[in-house]
Amino acid sequence: MKIRKLLSAVLILVCVLSLAACGGKESKDEEKKVEIKASEDLADLTIGVQQGTTGDLACSDIVKKDSQMKRYPKGAAAVQALEAGKLDCVVIDAQPAAKFVEKSGNLKIIDGIFDDEQYAVCIKKGNTELLDSMNKALGELKDEGTLDKIIANYIGDDIGSFTYETPEGTDHSKGTLIMATNAEFEPYEYHEGNEIIGIDVDIARAVCDKMGYELKIEDMEFDSILPAVTAGKADFGAAGMTVTDERKENVDFTDTYANATQVVIVKK
């Protein structure tokens, strides 16, 4: 009888401890939820970014210690770390963020924290001939409406409505231009099977068609794109790249072809 009472007491104690542990875990999870209404709210957080991106540069100026910045070669890796509870938030461009959140039922986007940005193609500094030719081609594509159709094919209500194809009889006798990119940035550039597709890929191909070149794509880490262009290993870079004063010290930029903004991803 005494043994039964002792076992009952032990079981009750185990249940109480289990309930307490569950309550503690719930409280801990609640503590991890972050409220972000302005950029200053990021100052004390652990932030995941894709290394070398605008999100990396912007948040590095906000946080109190650089150790709060967790830099990943791919945006997807940062999002995975957030879902695993290793980060407070991820800062990344709006369109890729929408794709990540769409694939996860546990995340949400907070916008309105950062200013708008402009995307453009980067070219080796001083290569005015290529810069002028690309700007001319971009202008023609914009006037024809092709530029808007390419973007709408990947973003908005008309996804899949337009597939850019090289016009029949296009002259590519001038040779090949190499585009440096980072194919981890859906919908601007990403892998689909063995191909790299996306907004930047279609725009680059359309521009090269206008200029009389074949397009070759070199996939690399994002922060390797500018060095590749400045070293002449690639003719131009296109990877949802924001025009900034810091980058303009090392490369030239074409006219902008899209507007974007950084957003914050957090757990729901």
Q: Give 146-189 pLDDT, tens digit per residue.
A: 999 999 999 887 889 999 999 999 999 999 999 999 999 999 99
13 inside domain = no
Within a domain: 129: yes
Instruction: Give the span between the Cα atoms of 216 and 176, in whole angstroms.
Output: 7
Q: How many domains does the chain have?
A: 1
Whether 156 is in a domain gets the answer: yes
pLDDT of 157 reads 78
Q: Is the pLDDT of residue 223 over 50?
A: yes
**Inside any domain, residue 155:** yes
DSSP state of 88: S
Q: CA 109 to CA 267: how far, in whole Å?
A: 9
- Return the pLDDT at 6: 52
Helix 75-83 with 94-103: angle, nearest 10 deg: 50
- Structure confidence at residue 159 (pLDDT): 87
139 burial via Cβ count (<10 Å: 0-12, 13-18, 19+): middle
Cα distance between residue 226 and residue 180, in whole Å: 8
**Token pair belonging to 154:** 């990947």
At CA 194, angle to CA 204 and CA 76, rounded to 5?
Answer: 80
Task: Give pLDDT tens digits for 93-149.
Answer: 998 999 899 988 899 999 999 999 999 999 999 999 999 999 999 999 999 999 999
Of residues 105 and 36, more confidence is placed in 36
Answer whether 123's CB lies under 8 Å from 131's CB. yes
Domain-located, residue 34: no
Structural domain of 154:
117-259
Least confident of 11-15, 79-83, 168-172, 218-222: 11-15
3-state secondary structure of 25: helix
Report residue 19's pLDDT band, with 50, 70 and 90 as the boundaries. Answer: low
**Is the N-terminal amide bond of 187 cis, ω within 30° of 0?**
yes
Per-residue HEC secondary structure of 153-214 comes to CCCCCCCCCCCCCCCCCCCCCCCEEEEEECCEECCCEEEECCEEECHHHHHHHHHHHHHCCE
- Is the pLDDT reported for residue 29 higher than 50? no
User: Residue 229's domain is classified under what CATH number?
Assistant: 3.40.190.10
Q: How many CB atoms lie within 10 A of CB 137?
A: 20
